[in-house]
Structure 1
Amino acid sequence: MAFYDDMATMVAELLADPDTGQDVTVTSQGVPVYDRATGKATAPTVARIGRGLELAYGSREIDGTNVQAGDVRLFMSPLCKDGTPMPAPSPGDSVLLGGVTYRVMRSQPLRPGGVVLAHQAQLRV
């Protein structure tokens, strides 16, 4: 596993380079909390800042249904900027990337040998 741990570190370092990656803010809904005083449940938002690489989908990948024109592929570092693990984005999360807010359509980790090297997400405006 040391090989893949080293690869994960290398990916994080490459995406931290301003020539390669850019800041990415992933915002997700937290677990709803019930407030007895108001009788309402509210779900706090959780924002995590990481680094990522924005890539376009090729014309052959755009089928108009699963992948639409304007969708963006994002490769994200396995670490937040503060060095903590970056959880995989979930469908419905929002992602601020290059001044544009996208929603996550699907996401999957790149995880050879059980070590998360990066998260790949499909984003849509």
Structure 2
Amino acid sequence: MADIYDRAKAQAARMLAPRSAGGKGLELTLRRTVVGEYDPDTGSSETITDYIGSGLRENYRMEDIDGSLVKAGDVRFMVSPVLLNGDDMPEPKTLDKVLFDGETYTVQRCDPGDYAGLSCFFYVQARK
């Protein structure tokens, strides 16, 4: 049964791949900042990790904007489950950043398209 979900994941990765690779998406970066112990060599306690993947951005419909959970200006990304290097994309978390088409967005929430424990894509609500 897992085979059908593997095929769904592969299909989503192909469709959400950057246009240069034959897909419908654009390159995006998921930036995760983790606060840890202070490192005197770097002068910081933050570790920033960039995950280079791809996806699509769309605006919310007017009827979806409620002013509290979804605000005017929020966007929704459909993010590929696979990074450009072929590794799995980690599930986006609240307060991660999404760098897409020259803009930076903050993740508000993530709704994974998760089938039988396998993430086939991620819907990400993000805000500037």
TM-score above 0.5, yes or no: yes
Is the partner of 1:79 in helix, strand or coil?
coil
Structure 2: unaligned runs, 5 residues or longer: none
- 5 Å-filtered alignment, 1:79-118, equals 79-118=82-121
Rounded to whole Å, the distance in 1 between the matches of 2:66 and 2:103 is 23
How much does 1:43 deviate?
1.5
Structure 1: unaligned runs, 5 residues or longer: none
- TM-score between both structures, scaled by the size of structure 1: 0.91
- On the 8 A contact 1:89/1:107 being kept in 2, the answer is yes
How much does 1:30 deviate?
3.0
How much does 1:34 deviate?
3.7
- 5 Å-filtered alignment, 1:11-50, equals 11-18=12-19, 20-30=24-34, 32-35=36-39, 42-50=45-53
Is the partner of 2:72 in helix, strand or coil?
coil
- On the 8 A contact 1:88/1:108 being kept in 2, the answer is no
Amino acid at match of 1:20: K
**Is 2:70 the partner of 1:74?**
no
Amino acid at match of 1:87: P
Q: CA RMSD in A?
A: 1.7
Is the partner of 1:80 in helix, strand or coil?
coil
Find the counterpart in structure 1 of residue 65 from structure 2.
62
Aligned residues: 123
Amino acid at match of 1:91: T
- TM-score between both structures, scaled by the size of structure 2: 0.89
Is the partner of 1:43 in helix, strand or coil?
strand
Runs (4+) of structure 1 exceeding 6 A deviation are none
Rounded to whole Å, the distance in 2 between the matches of 1:120 and 1:53 is 10
How much does 1:33 deviate?
3.4
